[in-house]
Every structure is written in C-alpha cells, then in structure tokens.
Structure 1
Amino acid sequence: MDVAMTSTTDPVCPSCGGHVSTTDRFCEACGAELKPGELAPAAPALDTDTEPTVEIHALPPAGPCTSCGGTVGADGYCETCGTKAAKPRDHFSEQPAPWVAGVCDRGIRHTRNEDAMAIAADPEPGSRALLVVCDGVSSSLDSDVASLAGARAARDVLTAGHAQGIGTESSRSGAIVARLNAAADAASDAVLENTSPDSPNPASCTFVAVVLEDGLLVAGNVGDSRAYWFPDASEAVALTVDDSWAAELIATGISRAEAESGPHAHAITRWLGKDAPDHTPRTTTLRVTEPGWVMVCSDGLWNYCSEAAPLADLTRQTAAAHGGDPLATASALVDWANAQGGQDNITVTLARV
C-alpha cells in the first residue's frame, strides 16, 4: 500500500499513527488489526470496491467454488454456500515471450488487487523487453481501475516507439528516455480518464517502466515501485530511487531498515493522478554486458527484501529451483512474499537476459 503525502483526510492506525485506508483490516506499518471505531476521524467512508472497467484478457473463467465445489453464479457468489468467488484481477500472469513474464497478486491482507502490470517482448531472448508496473494508492478512489489502465497505456506507447536517435549510444539512450517520458504521460492521461471529475479523493498510482533494447537498459519511475538489474556474476544494481518519505530519510543518513519500518514508510512524494505534483519519471541508463535478470516489482515484494544484493540472491536461488523459467520464478517470488505475510498486493515481472 502506498499513501500520497499530501492527503490530509486519511485515517491513521491507532497503534503507530501510520496512514491506513478505511477498507484495510491491518496496518501496513505495524501489522495491528484495525477495528471499526478505532481509527482517527476521517472523511466519510467511500465505497472503493468497484469492479475494474479495464478488461483482463486471456484469463480462464472462474471455476467451481473453492470452499464447497458448488456452482458460482453470475453475481460472483457460490449458489450453494454463498462464498464470494475470486476475481480475475486477484491473480493474473502475462508471458509475451518465453524469456519475459510477470505475475500480479492480491496478497493475503487486502480485499482487492490495486497493483497492475503490462509487459511486452520480442521473441529473441535478450533483444527487446518492455516492463511496466503501477501500484494503486489504497487511500484513493478507484486506484485499481486507474493503475491497470495506466500500465497498459504506458506499455502501448513503449511498444509503438522505435526511435533510435542518430546512431550513437548516447542518442539512443536519449530517444528511449523520451519514450519513457511519453509513456508516463500516457499513463497519467489514462489515470485521469478513469478518475471522476468530482472525486473527493482522485485515483492515483505509482509508475515504473523498464526498456531493454539490444543491451541498453533504461528505467524510469515515479513513486516507490522499483526496477533492478541482477547480473549473474556481478554486483546487483537498484535502477530506481524511490520518491518517498523513507527515501528522503535514507538520504539524510538514517538507516534503510529504520526508515522503511517507520510509521510513514509507505508515504510517497510523487505519483500519477489528478493531484500529482509532477509525473516526469526519474531515469537511469545502464549497458548490459553479461547474463542476468531484469526485475520490475511493486513494494509488495521488496517490503520483505529491500536491499538489491539479498533480493538478487533470492531471485537467483528461486530461478535455479525453477529451471530458470521466468514465469515460474515470478510466481514463486509472489508465493514467497505471501509466505512472509502478504500484507500488500504483489507484482513481480522478470526478463532473463
């Protein structure tokens, strides 16, 4: 869960003072159970559990009820025991090429999945991959709809663009950065298009995208979803720097462990949305010279393993246990995050170079 720092109407956890949503059952910062009547005063509660208007394609239809095996009716509830069926958005995957895949999951504690991803890749391994992840701000209205629309809009812009500059690596890097900026613009426009004009708490989300083209890796982000490069035999690299209160504390010398466990650890300072101060991504360019893994993920994963080096070790070990298959590895990393508590939505996208 991310919280935009400018929000002044969000309720807070009675145990630690961290920002929470009126739909949350547990505090993201301290894990305390949130009971009705205990939250600090806030604006009137809004029904944010809307059905996404952006369709998720290529997912199998819902099967029988997971509780009793009965038939799930058209209203989404079991006709025998009344259990609500899982939504397609709760857990979905994409694999545009054998070497690129992603998995997006609701997690354990949240009632809906506000994470989103959209990926694309050329068939030739290591040639061209486009990875986009958006994490909806839980305290905003319809962030699940906006995040998916934003991720897909960004991917479509990146897929359509092939500008290569004037042939030099610096000009090619500049052309890709320009494409990332255009993708962020498209994502922002999509978020706005899925925001009610009179919404008291407009939809918002984070944004991170990676473009890999013929050995050149360019990453850009707004908020605290992250991108990493994990070479097989060299030091792991965090490609992005969070736009967050925690990152600002780290910059002043406070330890990462302390900053990322404090009551404002999930407060972001930049995001996409109607009330966003600026959505121009901060970019990093890297030349890839050896085999490795590109990862783009939401904080549902890195919450449990924030430093690049241990997350790289976890990824390498997980990949080795699953034959180096990107989809199986991403799925296993999502399972691992859920095993740690699953306190947030989880998205993991991977490209094997």
Structure 2
Amino acid sequence: MSTPPNAADDTNVDAAPDTEVDHATDTEVDHAEMPDLDQAEDAEVSPAPDTEVDPPGADQDPSTSSGDVGPDSGGEDEQDFPSYPSFASYPGAPQAAPALPTAVVTSDGSRACPNCAEPLEAWAGFCENCGQSLTPSAPMPKGPVRSGSQRTRRAGLPGVDDKPRHPCAECGGQVGADNYCEQCGAKAPNARDHFREAPANWVAGVCDRGIRHSRNEDALALSADTEPGGRAVLIVCDGVSNADDSHIASLAAARTARGVLTVNRPNGVGVEASRVAAISQAITDAAAQANQAVIDKSDTESANPPSCTFAVAVLDGDTLVYGNLGDSRVYWIDDEPGASRQLTTDDSIAQTRITMGVEREIAENGPQAHAITKWLGRDAPDLTPNVGSTELTGSGWVLVCSDGLWNYASDADGIAGLVHEAIERNPGNRRVRSLAVSLVRWARQQGGKDNITVALARIGEFDADHGATELLDRSEVLAQEGTAT
C-alpha cells in the first residue's frame, strides 16, 4: 500500500499478520460482475468468466503443503492450485508464515482475542470482531455451537440469496448466507482477495491480497487485441492504506481508466510522433476520469477520502506509452540480461531522496518510504500523470506492478533476474499467465507484507512449446464464455 505524505509507513498500518486466509475457488469472474463496487467488502462475489480466484489452501503453511504442481515446478497453472509456499522461491529460501497467536485467558477463566479483547470460544480460529486469525486452544466440539453464541447469531440475514457455497476453509463446516461459517464463525473469503485477468494469450495479470493485509486494496484492469503485438492496455492501482474505502477507489479507478483507453484508440494524424502524443493525452484524460470515479465512490463527509495510485501501459505495436501517479510502476524486462529498465519515476518521498543522492536501498527502506506525493482522489494535489514513451526493439515483457512486488526487488535488473530465473526453473512460465502467478507467489514467499499486483504483456516471439499456440485454445474458450475487455 502507499501512503500520502506525513503518514506512517504502510507496514505499520495493519492490525496483525495473516488476518484472513485466501481460500476462494479457482473459478473465473467477469469484469462486469466481480466485484460490485458498492457492496460491503465482506460480501461474497459472484464468479464469472475472465477473472480467477484461488482455491482452498492458498495461505497454507509450507510444512503442511503437499504436491509441487504449478508454474515454478513444471505443473499446469490452469489445473488445481496448491498453496503458495509449495512453489520454489528464487532467490533465497521461502519464508515460513508467522505463527498465529492463541486466545488469551482472562481473569475469570474465559478466553478473548489477543488483538481486540473480544470474548472467544476456546476452539475459535478467527475473531469475528477484528478479523484476527488464531490457533485454536481446544478441539472443535461436535455438532453446532450452542444457540445464541457469537458464532451463530449472524446467520440467516433476510434478503440474502441462499445459493450454494463452498465449505468453510477453517473447519469444513457450512458457510451461511451472511458469508460466515455456521460452525466456527470464520469469515469466508471473497473473490476480491485474489483475482486474475487474461484478455488475450499475450496479456495477463494477477491481483492478490498478500499475507498480512486484511483486504486487497490493489486493483488491475486489462484489455488486449487477440493478436499478439496489437493494442493492449494494462492498468494497476494501489489503494492508499490509511484512507477510507481505498479498495473501492482502486477498482473504480482501474476499470474507468481501462474503459477510456479501450474505447478511445487514438492514432494521431498517421505519423509516430502524433500517435504517441495522442496516446499520451488519452492517458491524461483517463487519469482525470479515473479520479472522478474515485470521487463518485467517496463519502462526501469523509475527512480521509479514498485514494489510490495509478500506473498504465498502452501498447500499440512496437510503441509503448506509459504513465503514473504515485509509486506503482511500469518496467521493460528485456530478454537480454542487463537491458531491462524501470520506465516510470515514482511520485514519492523515497524518490525525492533518491533524486537528492540517497542510495535507492536506503531511501526505499527509510522513514515514510511509501509516502506518495501524487495520487487519485478528492484531495489529490496534482492529477497530471508522468507520461513517457519508448520503442520496443527487442523481445521481452512489459510489467506493470504495485509496490507489493517491487518491495522485494526494486531495480529493473532485480526484477529481470526473477523473471529469467522463473522461466529457467520452469519453461511453462513462458506463458504470460503462469509468469504473473509465479511472480505473485514469489512476493508472498518473501513475506507478502502488502497487496501484490502483477500485469504482464509479452512482446516478441513466444516459445513454440510454451507460448501463444498452447494458450490459444484457452483464450478461445474464455472468449466463447463472454470474456469482458
């Protein structure tokens, strides 16, 4: 997450690590249906065709993980997804998830949440009041919890459809219509926590809650021509963590900007300079309309209105036009070692320090490292994005990401090393979707202290065994199912 100036570093914003477990089903969700920007953050989201969510086991501890199927180990990412930590970490060994606390024993012998002091049952694996995940201190009793307890009183809200739901990820019990387990009271995850988009076989992205945050305030929105090398739009927004409803703001901004840049395909007057200028102006217009979308979703009475970063890459043949507000980034990851570049420049306190001569590693890990100086929102000081362009002469990857990825590998060579090693470890990661998933998993393995979003577009030749041909059938299936762009 990013924070505005004079705000605390976002790593101190969360109440406690591992506040939820991401166990959503591995189905795909349509842009138009997933999720409704106006619904509560804990509401269940209806699945639809072009966005996927993770199955049970996504936050499983490495010691309990079984199987090595997936993009880092030679398996198929379109098949069942094992837990994130089961995949090889590069570089370095995967970090074990922090142990969950147990309920504290109070003076009268009862138990309470160690985070908010809410009374709990001994077998509770989740505090309904604050969301803290727990290690139960007693086995689950057989049969339903006694009538009237905190674990059952939320069930059966009127007007909620009683549609089939997946078993509780904590205890296997039945999830009620209010999205809480009727057995242990655990809150069921929703599709906003982890989703994927793949509008074409050469463009894909993954947006994930990470490990430590209680909700996903990142967002992405993608569109692409079917034919590789055509027009593509990749947008990533990162909600400001200490502002109200930033998970709503980021999704509204990303989708609105995508709509502007997808409907408006400027080409200028036919010469390259004119085409670049027209696309650059379209990015500026998209930022303005995205900002209005954020304002429209804001509570006018809020003293701390929602806000988010904005990063966009527009590909048109060999031309890449990019822009940003805040510290979400656009990179060019070249297939040739040493030729990768960070294209955008952050609007942040850290970048100001780097410009003054402070070493990158020190600046990006110092006080207020993630405090941003530009953003989208009602209180935004400047809505003019930093826009640039480049001609892509080689083969490689356009990468748009939030700081949840670059927290762990900031410079272009560091991220390029991750990409090249991921493909070397498993040639299946030449698939765009697989590589995006692999990078997100790697960031989770490093601690997942922030939401993580990765959007990729492949430029140049695909591998004959692992590229466009193999993914084409999947893309056609999605198109037949009504994939939104």
- The residue type equivalent to 1:344 in the other structure is D
Aligned counterpart, 1:15: none
Secondary structure of 1:116 counterpart: strand
Q: Distance in 1 between matches of 2:406 and 2:186?
A: 32
Shift of 1:284: 1.3
Secondary structure of 1:341 counterpart: coil
1:328 corresponds to which of 425, 434, 457: 434
Determine if the alignment matches structure 1 residue 340 to structure 2 residue 446. Answer: yes
- The residue type equivalent to 1:25 in the other structure is A
Q: Is the 8 A contact 1:21 1:139 kept in 2?
A: no
- The residue type equivalent to 2:3 in the other structure is V
Moved more, 65-74 or 254-263: 65-74
Aligned counterpart, 2:175: 72
Q: Distance in 1 between matches of 2:42 and 2:331?
A: 29
Shift of 1:52: 8.0
Q: Is the 8 A contact 1:137 1:143 kept in 2?
A: yes
Aligned counterpart, 1:104: 207
Name the count of aligned residue pairs: 322
Determine if the alignment matches structure 1 residue 284 to structure 2 residue 388. Answer: yes
Q: Distance in 1 between matches of 2:442 and 2:289?
A: 33
Secondary structure of 2:257 counterpart: helix
Q: How does 1:181-192 map to 2 (within 5 A)?
A: 181-192=284-295
1:205-250 deviations in whole A, cap 9, x for unaligned? Answer: 0000000001100110000000001121261011100000000000
Q: Distance in 2 between matches of 1:150 and 1:52?
A: 20
Moved more, 310-319 or 61-70: 61-70
Q: Is the 8 A contact 2:284 2:384 kept in 1?
A: yes
Q: Distance in 2 between matches of 1:213 and 1:286?
A: 11
Secondary structure of 2:444 counterpart: helix
Shift of 1:50: 4.5
Determine if the alignment matches structure 1 residue 139 to structure 2 residue 271. Answer: no
Shift of 1:21: 6.6
Q: Distance in 2 between matches of 1:186 and 1:54?
A: 28
Q: Is the 8 A contact 2:397 2:458 kept in 1?
A: yes
Determine if the alignment matches structure 1 residue 352 to structure 2 residue 458. Answer: yes
Aligned counterpart, 1:40: none
Show structure 1 runs of 4+ deviating over 3 A: 18-24, 52-57, 59-62
Q: Is the 8 A contact 2:315 2:321 kept in 1?
A: yes
- The residue type equivalent to 2:398 in the other structure is V
Determine if the alignment matches structure 1 residue 83 to structure 2 residue 186. Answer: yes
Aligned counterpart, 1:46: none
1:246-284 deviations in whole A, cap 9, x for unaligned? Answer: 000000110000000102101001100111111111011
Secondary structure of 2:265 counterpart: coil
1:271-327 deviations in whole A, cap 9, x for unaligned? Answer: 001111111110110001121100000000000000101101211222442341111
Aligned counterpart, 2:409: 305
Between structure 1 and structure 2, the one with the greater Rg is 2
Shift of 1:24: 3.6
- The residue type equivalent to 1:215 in the other structure is D
- Higher-strand-fraction structure: 1
Shift of 1:78: 1.3
- The residue type equivalent to 2:384 in the other structure is T
Q: Distance in 2 between matches of 1:205 and 1:226?
A: 13
Aligned counterpart, 1:4: 4
Q: Distance in 1 between matches of 2:44 and 2:283?
A: 22
Q: Distance in 2 between matches of 1:287 and 1:303?
A: 27
Moved more, 278-287 or 79-88: 79-88
Secondary structure of 2:215 counterpart: coil
- The residue type equivalent to 1:165 in the other structure is G
Relative to structure 1, the CA distance from residue 88 to residue 298 in structure 2 (aligned partners, 3 Å threshold; closer, same or farther) is same
Q: Is the 8 A contact 1:115 1:148 kept in 2?
A: yes
1:11-56 deviations in whole A, cap 9, x for unaligned? Answer: x5xxxxx466765437xxxxxxxxxxxxxxxxxxxxxx95289977
Q: Distance in 2 between matches of 1:57 and 1:179?
A: 31
Q: Is the 8 A contact 2:47 2:191 kept in 1?
A: no
- The residue type equivalent to 1:2 in the other structure is S
Shift of 1:167: 1.0
Unaligned runs of 5+ in 1: 13-17, 27-48
1:173 corresponds to which of 273, 276, 283: 276
Shift of 1:81: 1.9
Moved more, 313-322 or 92-101: 313-322
Determine if the alignment matches structure 1 residue 252 to structure 2 residue 252. Answer: no
Aligned counterpart, 1:33: none
TM-score, normalisation: structure 2: 0.64
Q: Distance in 1 between matches of 2:46 and 2:321?
A: 27
Q: Distance in 2 between matches of 1:25 and 1:274?
A: 29
Q: How does 1:50-69 map to 2 (within 5 A)?
A: 50-51=40-41, 58=48, 63-69=166-172
Aligned counterpart, 1:226: 329
Relative to structure 1, the CA distance from residue 161 to residue 196 in structure 2 (aligned partners, 3 Å threshold; closer, same or farther) is same
Aligned counterpart, 1:215: 318
Determine if the alignment matches structure 1 residue 115 to structure 2 residue 115. Answer: no
- The residue type equivalent to 1:51 in the other structure is E
Q: Is the 8 A contact 2:374 2:381 kept in 1?
A: yes
Q: Distance in 2 between matches of 1:53 and 1:67?
A: 18
Identity of aligned residues (%): 51
Q: Is the 8 A contact 1:121 1:129 kept in 2?
A: yes
